[in-house]
Amino acid sequence: MSRPRIAILGRFAKGSTANRKEAIVNSRRLLEMIWDAGGDPVMMLPVLDSNWDERLIGISGILMPGGADVHPKFYGQEILSDEVYGCDPEQDEVDISLIRYAIANKIPLLTICRGTQVANVALGGTLVQHMSEPHRDHLANVTVSKDVAELGMSSDTVSASCFHHQILDRVATGIEPIAWAPEGHIEAVKYLNTGWAFGVQWHPEDNYKDDAPNFEIIKRFVAESSDFASSL
């Protein structure tokens, strides 16, 4: 069978070792994770006012990756912390548009770190702009309280590799928390009234080769994407 094509929205960057000027980037490990799970990752250019009906032809799933901070204006606030970084309203608008489209059209969706934060904002929630104790290069065991089988996990505990300084604050309608960090903040969510759609605050691409539950989530996402493609 052909690999389901998974759209991964690119991230604006000022440059990289492969580019002299501005770049559109994503983590190599993230794309390799999708490939290893049986999918074909397709990085997409963020474009305002995209016609997703046209742009997503042939796409079976959507992965919203990590990245810089969402501008607080999208959840009704001003920047309140000097730690807020990398805001790009154009990136935010495209992310929000694609997330809303995916949910409305029941396309398999997985959000990671910033992706989960911007999904909460897209649906009407807010964020804590800076945690009192940021989780940068932070590894902890997280227990998923429900939907373990739907996530494809053989265990309810996952080794969560985190790199974030913001967390969900007011949870949007249509989002159900399903896992929490030992400190109490939300680490995973389910998007309701849609197809297979989940979000994690951690980065499964960091350690999916060593932690089975992380890779099982990704394999389930790719499998759901393949089923979605077959149903069209």
Question: 9 forms bridges with which residues in the sheet?
Answer: 44
Burial class (CB in 10 A: 0-12, 13-18, 19+), 208: buried
Residue among 169, 52, 37, 58 at smallest CA distance from 110: 37
Show the tokens assigned to 215: 């890779």
Q: Is the pLDDT of residue 101 over 90?
A: yes
pLDDT of residue 18: 61
Beta strand 135-144 with 61-64 is unpaired
pLDDT digits (tens, 9 = 90+) for 11-59: 988 766 666 667 778 999 999 999 999 999 999 999 999 999 999 999 9
Give 232's pLDDT tier (boundaries 50, 70, 90).
confident
For the chain, what percent of residues have pLDDT higher than 90? 90
Question: What global pTM score does this model have?
Answer: 0.95
CATH code assigned to 5-231: 3.40.50.880
Residue 23's pLDDT is 75
- Give per-residue pLDDT as tens, 103-161: 999 999 999 999 999 999 999 999 999 999 999 999 999 999 999 999 999 999 999 99
Would you give the end-to-end CA distance of the chain in angstroms?
16
The residue ranges of every structural domain in the chain are: 5-231
* Mean pLDDT taken over the chain: 95
As a whole number, mean pLDDT of residues 195-224 equals: 98
